[in-house]
Amino acid sequence: MSIVVFAEQRGGTLRKITYEVVSEGKRLAAAAGDSLKVLLAGSDVAGLAEELKKFGADEIAVANDAALADYTTDAYAAVLAAYIQQENPGLVLLGHSAIGKDLAPRVAARLDAGLVSDCIDVKFADGDYAFVHPIYAGKAIATYKVNSAVKMATLRPNVFPVEENAGAGSVVDFSTEIPAPRTKVLEVKQQGGDRPELTEADIICSGGRGLGNPDGFQLIEQLADILGAAVGSSRAAVDAGWRDHQFQVGQTGKVVSPNLYIACGISGAIQHLAGMGSSKCIIGINKDPEANIFNVADYGIEGDLYKVVPALIEKLKEVKG
Amino acid sequence: MKIVTCIKQTFDTEAKITIENGKVSDQGVNLIVNPYDEFAVEESIRLKEKNGGEVVVVSVGNDKTQEALRYCLAMGADRAVLIQDPALENGDNHSAAVALAKLLADMEYDLIFCGKEAVDDGAAQVPSRLAEKLDLPQANVITSFELGDGQATVTREIDGGTETLEVQLPAVFSAQKGLNEVRYPSLPGIMKAKRKELKVVSLADLGLSAEDVAPKAELVQAELPPPRKAGRVLKGEVEEVVAELVKLLQEEAKVI
Ligand SMILES: Cc1cc2nc3c(=O)[nH]c(=O)nc-3n(C[C@H](O)[C@H](O)[C@H](O)COP(=O)(O)OP(=O)(O)OC[C@H]3O[C@@H](n4cnc5c(N)ncnc54)[C@H](O)[C@@H]3O)c2cc1C
């Protein structure tokens, strides 16, 4: 049997999630005694196969077609479904990214396959996979088994460690008939600057209502700049119009799991914790000693964020040179 | 303009989760219309108000789900269909999508709206699975919708940005926060909703067997996550506290 991994690229660059999913695919392939096959789809992406070789896949199949220049559900689903039908793998893995979330259920429905979304762990034991997926925004953890011949899962970003491996096999071409997509991409707008994307970031600095005004985010941004961090926000700050919804962290925003999450002027409501509770290290900065954020923070600082954050920025400047 | 809107009844996002026999218990939990589905219902009603037509809300659920459907009728949807069957009780996203697709296959529609995901299982599968089963195009996680002639132009969230798509109709759209501001049902709306049609159909009514909707993903067990221990609250002068924090981050947590 084989394990198939969908290698996600956008605009000719492999996404960080791809390295994570390929690394996990390799670990599972070793555990299950399966081979690992990676499907790379896009236009002018053949060069990326070299990069993928670092992860030791037994085969890298490249679907290189001008019709795959933009991500469209119709075109990409046709390619991934055809590749799965050709390879007949036991397991198919994608990232739980915008593309993975759109593509995986579409292909799963085409193949009548079971799919567990947003896994934080995949275990192989006694010849079967167990898929671990947080439900109720992390308030409970559910383990699933999938009973279809092809089992599918999407993996949560920033959870699975990236690991390079030797022993990469061949790079082969893959082509199939690509239907004319029924959606057309008119425009893509990427958020400017070189700030990491929220779900991929190692460090996130977030601000809440406690900032008091929209300008408060300038301070959060300064902190983020020093740490190379992404900037997030609570819903209260989004509802106040201080920040766009795409930066909201929580049950009805982004679910993130960075190494370090710094919550400034955020009370720690249950819906906010749902989005960042799986962060490896949490810092809460809040003037209210009773704030709920202190019940989850590894380190808390009780005080006015307008005093604490500038001091923190100075100290970080000092140690980071 | 005929619009079908798929909704799911979910736990209130404030709900405290308890586990009973390896499953999440629904005892004493307040139930709501999944917040993202409300955006879908709102958008459907607005389109109907502008262009005329009909909004049908549909759901897979149980007796309690009628309440969620009534809520949507009170918001302004015209009628509701509930698919209810013992065989769907332990269903997964595949089960729900197969049942909904079979129901919709015999309905007329120009647009199908869903929420981008349900806040309970957070799977985000049904809209895409439904689109596939009906062989329709899909646009997920949309924050704007503009109806054109035989097509719609939508903005959808992608990682780190947005994308504008032109989508051939009919199609399935899944709604994200930002699409609109959701209304509350008015008192007359609530009164009217009581008289609106709410039809309950079984799998047999749809010509489906239990086998057709047998789940592909089965829950082995649910458990509470290990509680996160409260850590240390650092006290003292700001400069000292901050110096201590940076040291801890470097030497203890090793995250910077
Ligand atoms: C259906 C639903 C979905 C929701 N989804 C989300 C979600 O996805 N994400 C989310 O975040 N919320 C969500 N919420 C909202 C959530 O319940 C809270 O209202 C919200 O998280 C509060 O944001 P906040 O912590 O910024 O504001 P508040 O709760 O008002 O907290 C502000 C904090 O700042 C502190 N503060 C004030 N001034 C200072 C200062 N100078 N220095 C230091 N600290 C200061 C205060 O002590 C307080 O603790 C949702 C709610 C519902 C009903």
Contacts of B91 (CB under 8 A, 6+ apart): B60, B99, B213, B215
Contact B75, B41 (CB under 8 A): yes
Residue A320's pLDDT is 85
Residue B221 belongs to some domain of the structure: no
**Where residue B126 falls among pLDDT bands split at 50, 70, 90?**
very high
Rounded to whole angstroms, the Cα distance separating A103 from A71 reads 10
> In a 10 Å sphere around its CB, with 0-12 CB exposed, 13-18 middle and 19+ buried, how is residue A185 labelled?
middle
Closest CB from A183, A248, A260 relative to B255 = A260
Number of structural domains, chain B? 2
Q: Are residues B192 and B78 in the same domain?
A: yes
Per-residue model confidence (pLDDT) at position B28: 93
What atom of ligand 1 comes closest to residue A252's alpha carbon? Answer: 8
Question: Residue A166: which CATH number?
Answer: 3.40.50.620
What is the distance in angstroms between the Cα of A110 and the nearest Cα belonging to chain B? 6
Residue B223: inside a domain: no
pTM over 0.90: yes
* Structure tokens that stand for A154 in this block: 């999407």
* Confidence check: pLDDT of B99 > 80: yes
**Protein residue closest via CA to atom 5 of ligand 1:** A252
Query: Do B200 and B234 fall within a single domain?
Result: no
**Is A115 inside any structural domain?**
yes
Query: Is the residue at A53 inside a domain?
Result: yes
The residue type at A227: L
Check residue A315 and report its DSSP letter: H
**What type of residue sits at position A305?**
L
Number of domains in chain A: 2
Determine, for residues A105 and B161 on separate chains, whether the beta-carbon distance falls below 8 Å: no
Q: Is A25 in the pocket of ligand 1 (CB under 6 A)?
A: no
Does A215 lie in the same domain as A145? no
Least Cα separation, residue B50 to chain A (angstroms): 24
pLDDT at B21 over 90: yes
Per the domain annotation, does B115 fall within a domain? yes
Please give the helix or strand (H or E) that residue B4 lies within, else none: strand B2-6
Contact B159 A183 (CB under 8 A): no
pLDDT at A87: 98
Q: B218 in a domain, yes or no?
A: no
Tokens 């039908």 identify what position?
A85
Q: Write down the pLDDT at residue B229.
A: 81
Q: What is the dihedral of CA A299, A305, A311, A314, to 10 degrees?
A: 90
Query: Does the distance separating the beta carbons of B160 and A312 come in below 8 Å?
Result: no
For residues A32 and A151, membership in a common domain is answered with: yes
Please name which of A159, A118, A160 lies closest in space to residue A141, comparing C-alpha atoms.
A118
8 A C-beta contact, residue A59 and residue A169: yes
The residue type found at A272 is H
Q: How confident is the model at residue B67 (pLDDT cuts 50, 70, 90)?
A: very high
Determine the 3-state secondary structure of B220 from DSSP.
strand
ipTM over cut 0.90: yes
Q: Please report the DSSP string for B116-150 in residue order.
A: S--TTT----HHHHHHHHTT--EEEEEEEEEE-SS
Q: Are residues B248 and B190 in the same domain?
A: no
Residues B18, B74, single domain; the answer is: yes
Q: How far is the CA of A209 from the centre of ligand 1 (A)?
A: 6
> For tokens 């650092």, what's the residue?
B234
Co-location of B234 and B136 in the same domain: no
The answer on A167 and A65 residing in a single domain is yes
* A234 in a structural domain: yes
A140 and A233 fall within a common domain: no
Same domain, B45 and B89: yes
**Is B18's C-beta closer than 6 angstroms to any atom of ligand 1?**
no
Could you tell me the pLDDT band of residue B34, with boundaries at 50, 70 and 90? very high
Terminal Cα distance for chain A, rounded: 52
Task: Based on the fold, state whether residues A211 and A300 are members of the same structural domain.
Answer: yes
- Ligand 1 atom at minimal distance to the Cα of residue A292: 49
Atom of ligand 1 nearest to the CA of B12: 1
Q: Directed axis angle between helix B126-133 and helix A73-87, to 10°?
A: 80
Q: Which of A99, A146, A142 is nearest to A121 (CA)?
A: A142
Q: Which tokens hold the place of B240?
A: 């000292």
The C-alpha angle A95, A97, A98, rounded to 5 degrees, equals: 140
Q: Which residues of chain A have pLDDT under 50?
A: none
Same domain? A9 vs A83: yes
Separation of alpha carbons A170 and B31, rounded Å: 53
Name the minimum distance, in Å, from the CA of A169 to any CA of chain B. 31
Find all residues with CB under 8 Å of A26, minimum gap 6, and list them: A36, A55, A56, A57, A163, A165
- Check whether residue A25 and residue A154 sit in a common domain: yes
In a domain, B215, yes or no: no
pLDDT one-digit tens code per residue, A254-271: 999 999 999 999 999 999
**CATH number of A296's domain:** 3.40.50.1220
- Mean pLDDT over each residue of chain B, to the nearest integer: 97
Here the tokens at position A172 are: 């082969």
Beta-carbon contacts of A117 under 8 Å, excluding residues fewer than 6 positions away, are A96, A101, A104, A105, A133, A153, A154, B121, B122, B123, B124, B125
Give the per-residue pLDDT at A150.
98
The DSSP secondary structure of B26-53, one letter per residue, reads: -TT--EEE-HHHHHHHHHHHHHHHHH--
Q: Choose among A110, A274, A280: nearest Cβ to B132.
A: A110
Q: Give tens-digit pLDDT for B44-55.
A: 999 999 999 999
Ligand 1 site, residue A210, Cβ cutoff 6 A? yes
Answer whether residue B78 is part of any domain.
Answer: yes
Check CB contact under 8 Å for B220 and A189.
no
Chain A positions touching B158 (Cβ under 8 A) are 98-99, 188
Note whether B54 and B141 are same-domain residues.
yes
Kindly list the distances between the CA atom of residue A69 and the CA atoms of A282, B94, B201, in Å, as whole numbers in the listed order.
39, 30, 44
Residue predicted with more confidence, B155 or A193:
B155
Is the distance from the beta carbon of residue A274 to the nearest atom of ligand 1 less than 6 Å? Answer: no
B138 bridge partner residues:
B172
- Domain ranges, residue B55: 2-206
Are A18 and A160 found together in one domain?
yes
Please give the distance, rounded to the nearest whole angstrom, from the Cα atom of residue B96 to the centre of ligand 1.
Answer: 34
Residues on chain B touching A121 (C-beta within 8 angstroms): none
Residue contact A185–B168, C-beta within 8 A: no
Nearest to A104 by CA among A87, A91, A123: A91
A169, A25: one domain: yes
Write the residue with the smallest CA distance to atom 30 of ligand 1: A209
Residue A222: what are its φ and ψ, rounded to 5°? -60, -40
- Identify the CA nearest to A199 among candidates A243, A141, A158: A158
B-chain residues within 8 Å CB-CB of A198?
Answer: 160
Pick from B15, B165, B176: CB nearest A184: B165
Which residues, at least 6 apart from B190, have a Cβ–Cβ distance to it below 8 Å?
B74
Q: Which of these three, A173, A207, A223, is where a domain ends?
A: A173
For range B180-206, the mean pLDDT:
98
Q: What is the pLDDT of residue B112?
A: 98
Residues 6 or more apart whose Cβ sits within 8 Å of residue B253: A260, A280, A281, A298, A299
- Whether A38 is in a domain gets the answer yes
Alpha carbon A229 to its chain centroid, in Å, reads: 15
- The answer to whether residues A153 and A231 belong to one domain is no
- Kindly report the nearest CA distance between residue A132 and chain B, in angstroms: 9
pLDDT of residue A11: 87
- A181 lies in some domain: no
| Domain closes at, from A173, A207, A237 | A173
Considering the domain architecture, whether residues A162 and A14 belong to the same structural domain is answered as yes
pLDDT digits (tens, 9 = 90+) for B203-256: 999 999 999 999 999 999 999 998 888 889 998 999 999 999 999 999 999 999
CB B51 within 8 A of CB B152: no
In one-letter notation, the amino acid at residue B87 is A
Same domain, residue pair B153 and B238? no
Residues B179 and B89 both lie in one domain: yes
Contact A136/B15, CB-based, under 8 Å?
yes
Q: Tell me, yes or no, whether A80 lies in a domain.
A: yes
**Are B243 and B125 members of one domain?**
no
**Residue B91 and residue B184 share a domain:** yes
Whether B237 and B183 share a structural domain: no
Residue A24, in any domain of the structure? yes
Pocket flag, ligand 1, residue A206 (CB < 6 Å): no
In terms of residue numbers, what domain contains A292?
A: 198-319
Domain at B105, CATH number: 3.40.50.620
Closest of A43, A81, A41, A85 to residue A63, by C-alpha: A41
Residue A99 lies in a domain: yes
Q: Let me know whether A142 and A274 are in one domain.
A: no
Q: Which of A173, A206, A233 is the last residue of a domain?
A: A173
If you take atom 31 of ligand 1, which residue's CA is the nearest one?
A267
